[in-house]
Amino acid sequence: MKNIIIKFSMRGSIDDEYSKYRFQTPNNFGIWKSCKFTFNPLVDDYDWFVVVDDIPVIVPNRIEKLKCPKENTILVTTEPSSISRYGRGFASQFNYLITNQEKEILPHKDTQRTQTGIYWLYGKDYDEIIKDNDGITKNKLISTICSDKQEGHTLHKKRFDFTALLEKEVLELERFGRGFNFIEKKYQAIDDYKFHVVVENHIGEHMWSEKLADALLGFSVPIYCGAPNIYDYFPEGSIITIDIYDFENSLAKIKDIISRPGEYERRLPAIKEARKLVIEKYNLVAMITDIVDNAPKNKFTPDVKIYSRRQMRVKYLPDLFRFIGFRISNFIKDKFGVKK
């Protein structure tokens, strides 16, 4: 049976088949069940068109002249609304939207408001990850990855301050990231450790990222601050939630958890279940395949074009004004540390 060809484009795509998402498929072939993904943004033979974040810079004039039915188009956003605004005009060009942004900020007629399958930064490909399915030997207690980045319009500064306090109180905690202990691959900061502190860049429904996925891929129990509905996605035993705005209670919870004999082993079955969900359900190539397999057949409509975010701000001025206001607000937060 012939595979359905999915043209998968990202803002930074270049004219070859390289993509981090390719490494999330068996044998790095870019095939998931019925779908074959092509990551070259210049190919013009495809059945579906998927854009992650924006039209690639390498595409002439940043305009995609569709070679598939206009109904066979999907936009995936990867950034929370505190970091990026995609624009209603831009999103309206696509038949499907996968986003974790709020409805009032990015409305759309056919939306999956969910986590958005951000690519893993764990450092192992699909086949290496599957080889570890039985588990990884853990000989250390707790780690975290927190760089020296301290932007004010996201949780970067709050995470930095929280982690600095935590280091003083939890002596077992090993900290990795830019400006601290260097690692070549992220799994080096996860695989040896039973517990891993994870703080997202933004707190909101569905706002969980590769930070959480990577910890689960490495069989570490995430001590987690992020999406408040995280247990809609994973079994409760697989994740321990904390509130970085309540340091004393978070500290007490962490100290209690890591001091309990056998606590990691008790949670291991739930971790294995959560890890399987990351690989098989919340993997973006799996999410796209599910949409494609359940979509009706559509006829090709000639002369349909999809424009970049910047071009659509010019074409749809309300988006431009909202974007300017958003940038001013973030500037104020970064410079003065206050909300507009």
Dump pLDDT digits (tens) for 133-190.
Answer: 999 999 999 999 987 776 656 688 899 999 999 999 999 999 998 878 889 999 999 9
**What residues make up the domain containing 21?**
4-117+283-336
Confidence at residue 5, expressed as pLDDT on a 0 to 100 scale: 98
Check pLDDT > 60 for residue 340: no
Please indicate, yes or no, whether residues 136 and 269 belong to a single structural domain of this protein.
Answer: yes
Distances (CA, A) of 76 to 97, 106, 325: 6, 12, 23
Please indicate, yes or no, whether residues 145 and 243 belong to a single structural domain of this protein.
Answer: yes
Residue at a domain's end among 280, 310, 325: 280
Please indicate, yes or no, whether residues 221 and 179 belong to a single structural domain of this protein.
Answer: yes
Please indicate, yes or no, whether residues 201 and 105 belong to a single structural domain of this protein.
Answer: no
Confidence at residue 339, expressed as pLDDT on a 0 to 100 scale: 45
Place of tokens 């997202």: 200
**pTM, to two decimals:** 0.92
Please indicate, yes or no, whether residues 108 and 225 belong to a single structural domain of this protein.
Answer: no
The percent of residues in the chain predicted with pLDDT above 70, rounded, is 97
The tens digit of pLDDT for each residue in 106-140 reads 999 999 999 999 999 999 999 999 999 999 999 99
Confidence at residue 163, expressed as pLDDT on a 0 to 100 scale: 94
- Mean pLDDT check: name the lowest of 7-21, 31-45, 202-216, 286-300: 7-21
The tens digit of pLDDT for each residue in 208-228 reads 999 999 999 999 999 999 999
Provide the phi-psi class of 181: left if phi over 0, else alpha when psi is between -120 and 50, else beta: beta
Q: Of 332 and 255, which is predicted with more confidence? A: 255
CATH classification at residue 160: 3.40.50.11660
Residue at a domain's end among 263, 280, 297: 280
Q: Which of 161, 141, 167 is nearest to 149 (CA)?
A: 161
Q: Of 323 and 267, which is predicted with more confidence? A: 267
Beta bridge partners of 50: 8, 74
Residue at a domain's end among 280, 303, 327: 280
Q: What is the mean pLDDT of residues 71-94?
A: 95
How high does pLDDT run on average in the chain? 94
Ordered alpha helix ranges (H), 218-282: 247-259, 263-280
Please indicate, yes or no, whether residues 261 and 147 belong to a single structural domain of this protein.
Answer: yes
Please indicate, yes or no, whether residues 132 and 154 belong to a single structural domain of this protein.
Answer: yes
Q: What is the mean pLDDT of residues 80-89?
A: 92
Confidence at residue 155, expressed as pLDDT on a 0 to 100 scale: 80
Confidence at residue 8, expressed as pLDDT on a 0 to 100 scale: 98
- Count how many domains the chain has: 2
